[in-house]
Structure 1
Amino acid sequence: MLWYSLPVHPAPATRTAPPIARWRPQLETGLEAIDQQHRELLQDLARLAVALGAGSSGDLPDEPLATLARHLIKHCQTEESLMKEAGFPERVAHANQHQEVVLRVRDIQYRRMKGQPVGREALADLGAWLEQHISQADRAMAAYLKSLHAV
C-alpha cells in the first residue's frame, strides 16, 4: 500500500474548558469602583481556574485562593458601607448574600487545608453565583444608589 493511500485521521481537537466566569457588559452596574472590584473578582477566579488546570494533582493552589478571599471580603465591605450610608432597603438581604458567598470561599479554603480535592466544579459554582449576584442584586443596589444622586 502506498503512503498516500492510507486513511488520514486528524488528531482530535483539544477542547478547552469554558471560562469559569467572565466579565461582560451585562454585568456593568454603572458604579465604576464596584465594577472594577467585580472585574478583579472574576479575574481572580479565572487565575484560580488556570492554576487548577496547570496543577498536576488537580488541587487548588493556596495563594490565588487567598487572593480571591481577600478581594471578596474587601468588595463585600465596600458594598455594605455604600448600602448602609444610602439606607438601601434591601441591605440586610444583600449582606446575607455576601455572607453566603464568603462562607462558600471559606469552605473551599477549609477543604483545601484538610487536603480534600477541590475541583473545577466548585469554581464553576462560585462563578455562576457571582455572575447571578452581580446581574441581579448588585445591579438593583446600583440603580437605587444612582437614583439618590439623580434627585
Structure 2
Amino acid sequence: MLVQWRDDLSIGMLEIDVQHKLLFDKFNAFVNAYQSNQDQDEIMRMFWFLEAYAVTHFKEEEKLMQQVRFPDFVAHRDKHLVFIDQINQLKERLKVEGLSQNLVSTMTNFITSWLIDHISTMDRAIGRFVNNSAPSPRS
C-alpha cells in the first residue's frame, strides 16, 4: 500500500514539508521494491535507509522545535522515540522472520497511519506555532 502526499499534509514550513515528502518517497520505494519482487537484500537496504532517514528527519525537526521554543517539544520528541522503538521491533522481526506478506503488510499499515496521523496533528502544530509567532508585516 503506497502512501500518497496530499497538500493538506503540508505544515507550511518548506524544509519540513520537503522532508516529509521524501519520507513518503522512501517508504514508497520500499513498498515498490517488495511488490516487484526485487532482491531481498535490496528491499532490506531500502527499509534500513527509510529508518535512517526518519531518524535524521526527527533530529532536524527536534532541532527546529528547540530553536523556536515549541512548547510541546517533549511530548513531540516522545512520539518520535516511540516510532523509532516500534521500527526497531519491526526490524528485529525482519531479521528473525525474513520478508513475508504479513510482516510487510504490518509494516506498511503502521508506517502509513503513523506518518499521516503524526504529520496532520503533531507536526501541523509546529507549523501553526511558528506561523502564529512570526512578527506580522508592517502596513
Aligned to 2:36: 54
Runs of at least 4 residues off by over 4 Å: 56-60
The answer for unaligned runs of 5 or more in structure 1 is: 1-18
Distance 1:108 1:59, change over 3 A: farther
Task: Determine which structure has greater relative contact order: mean sequence separation of CA pairs < 8 Å that are 6+ residues apart, divided by chain length.
Answer: 2
TM-score by structure 2 length? Answer: 0.86
Match of 2:88 among 102, 106, 111: 106
**In the TM superposition, what is the alpha-carbon distance from 1:55 to its structure 2 partner?**
2.4
**In the TM superposition, what is the alpha-carbon distance from 1:115 to its structure 2 partner?**
3.1
RMSD over equivalenced CA pairs, Å: 2.1
* CA deviation string 1:4-43 (max 9, x = no partner): xxxxxxxxxxxxxxx4321010100111110000001011
TM-score by structure 1 length? Answer: 0.79
Question: What secondary structure is seen at the aligned counterpart in 2 of 1:87?
Answer: coil
The 1-side partners of 2:112 and 2:41 are apart by 18
Structure having the higher Rg:
1
How do 1:27-66 residues align onto structure 2 when only pairs under 5 Å count?
27-55=9-37, 61-66=43-48
The 1-side partners of 2:17 and 2:118 are apart by 13
Contact 1:20 / 1:124 at 8 angstroms: preserved in 2?
no
Aligned to 2:135: 150
Aligned to 1:6: none
**In the TM superposition, what is the alpha-carbon distance from 1:90 to its structure 2 partner?**
0.6
Higher helix share: 2
Aligned to 1:22: 4
Contact 1:52 / 1:60 at 8 angstroms: preserved in 2?
no
